[in-house]
């Protein structure tokens, strides 16, 4: 069960409590589900009881007590504890972990994709600047993976509009770097704003120098990994094949998942999802669809009339995805030494389950790198 699915489960519990007359509130559009904080219990935590307490006219603890039995009866939930002022900490059963791994291996690099934004069109304006172009390209990829489309135009009077939405190819993104990495006009303005001609203007901190000498993959990573308001570092550090280089760790972790699969085949055993103790990696893999979904966010303020007034593009999404992949890579590299049997040890159910989890992690890394327009090599 992913956080997105668990969020729906929480909302279902609220709806059932309302239908039974135990709560008198409007069912919210979304429920926030996150990993528990330091010292927290369970796999996930939600503050839905605190959110509903005031409109329900009850204390958060009372709302949590009402919701707890409905959550306990949900498929895949093994336990629910109430902590603090009314947080609901949810534990998932072992079959939920195996089910998640099966789903990722079945979906492959398309895990986390959906049709949630089908029919949605988002207008984005960018200056003629390489970092803004690459960010817009990746936003279009992420939103396209959810069925939406991004119409990008340049923030000049004669700029031609282009549609780089659903199904944008890797080659198109590469063309952005090749075409714009030399001789770009840099804009000193930074941030995000509404343009009088429509659409939202994306103005990240510009690249301080030409990233082309880094090569395509490292150049894109250098522009995407920092938050839009942070100055990107265009240095050879992005090329170093050492653990201190986040791009190397992400690509190396992906290559290692492919290697252990080949090694397991040589040893005569295959992956089989099952219970295992790898909470950090499982949590990161489960959270991946939510990371993709944050490319759009509910509007926090009103603006001029728009065909899609309820959601806006979140320009931090590419950076958020890159950083999430670093977390997945680090957790994967910690798992890999235990995947294969050692010496005369025979492959066990635990080895098969770890191999399945490693393959799932590799699929997420490959899919995430593809959305960033970066190659995920099988050998490194």
The 8 Å CB, 24+ separation contacts for 62-66 are 63/23, 64/88, 66/17, 66/22, 66/23
Predicted pLDDT at 134: 95
Predicted pLDDT at 182: 32
Predicted pLDDT at 262: 96
Torsions phi, psi for 170 (to 5 deg):
-65, -35
Query: Residue 325 — very low, low, confident or very high, per pLDDT cuts 50/70/90?
Result: very high
Average pLDDT over every residue of 205-211:
92
State percent of the chain over pLDDT 70: 84
The total number of structural domains that make up the chain = 3
Average pLDDT over every residue of 301-329:
77
Query: Residue 299 — very low, low, confident or very high, per pLDDT cuts 50/70/90?
Result: low
Q: Does one domain contain both 210 and 259? A: no
- Per the domain annotation, does 116 fall within a domain? no
Predicted pLDDT at 199: 63
Q: For the chain, give the mean pLDDT.
A: 85
Residue that is last in its domain, among 176, 204, 235:
235
Predicted pLDDT at 200: 80
Average pLDDT over every residue of 302-309:
45
Non-local (6+) Cβ contacts of 265 within 8 A are none
Q: pTM of this prediction? A: 0.78
* pLDDT tens digits for range 128-184: 899 999 999 999 999 999 999 999 988 764 344 444 333 333 343 444 344 333 323
Structural domain range at position 366: 246-371
* pLDDT tens digits for range 185-202: 333 333 444 444 456 889
- Per the domain annotation, does 71 fall within a domain? yes
Predicted pLDDT at 37: 75
Predicted pLDDT at 102: 94
Q: Does one domain contain both 231 and 250? A: no
* pLDDT tens digits for range 38-73: 767 788 899 999 999 999 999 999 999 999 999 998
Residue 79, Cβ density class (10 Å: 0-12 exposed, 13-18 middle, ≥19 buried)? middle
Q: Does one domain contain both 227 and 256? A: no
Query: Which comes out higher in pLDDT, residue 5 or 149?
Result: 149
Q: Does one domain contain both 258 and 360? A: yes
- Quickly tell me which residue has 């993709």 as its tokens: 292
Q: Does one domain contain both 323 and 349? A: yes
Non-local (6+) Cβ contacts of 378 within 8 A are 255, 258
């Amino acid at each position: 069960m992913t956080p997105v699915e668990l969020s729906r489960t929480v909302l279902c519990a609220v709806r059932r409590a309302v239908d039974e007359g135990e709560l008198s509130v409007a069912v919210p559009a979304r429920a926030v589900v996150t990993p528990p904080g330091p010292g927290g219990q369970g796999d996930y935590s939600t503050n839905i009881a605190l959110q509903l307490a005031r409109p329900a006219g009850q204390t958060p603890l009372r709302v949590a007590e009402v919701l707890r039995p409905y959550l306990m009866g949900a498929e895949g939930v093994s336990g629910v504890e109430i902590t603090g002022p009314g947080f609901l900490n949810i534990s998932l059963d072992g079959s939920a972990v195996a089910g998640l791994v099966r789903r990722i291996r079945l979906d492959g690099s398309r895990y986390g994709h959906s049709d949630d934004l089908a029919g949605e069109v988002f207008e984005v304006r960018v200056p003629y600047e390489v970092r803004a172009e690459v960010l817009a390209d990746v936003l279009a990829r992420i939103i396209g993976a959810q069925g939406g489309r991004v119409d990008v135009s340049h923030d000049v009077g004669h700029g031609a509009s282009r549609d780089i939405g659903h199904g944008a190819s890797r080659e198109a993104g590469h063309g952005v770097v090749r075409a714009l990495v030399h001789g770009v006009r840099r804009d000193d303005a930074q941030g995000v704003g509404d343009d009088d001609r429509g659409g939202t203007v994306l103005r990240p901190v510009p690249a301080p120098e030409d990233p082309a000498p880094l090569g395509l993959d490292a150049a894109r990573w250098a522009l995407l990994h920092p938050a839009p308001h942070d100055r990107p570092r265009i240095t050879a550090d992005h090329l170093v094949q050492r653990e201190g280089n986040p791009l190397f760790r992400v690509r190396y972790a992906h290559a290692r998942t492919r290697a252990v699969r080949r090694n397991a085949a040589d040893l005569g055993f295959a992956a089989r999802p099952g219970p295992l103790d790898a909470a950090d990696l499982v949590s990161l893999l489960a959270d991946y669809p939510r990371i993709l979904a944050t490319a759009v966010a509910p509007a926090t303020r009103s603006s001029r009339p728009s065909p899609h007034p309820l959601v806006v593009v979140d320009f931090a999404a590419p950076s958020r995805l890159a950083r999430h992949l670093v977390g997945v890579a680090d957790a994967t590299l910690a798992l890999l030494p235990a995947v294969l049997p050692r010496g005369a040890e025979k492959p066990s159910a635990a080895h098969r389950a770890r191999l399945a989890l490693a393959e799932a992690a590799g699929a997420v890394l490959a899919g995430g790198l593809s959305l960033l327009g970066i190659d995920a090599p099988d050998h490194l």
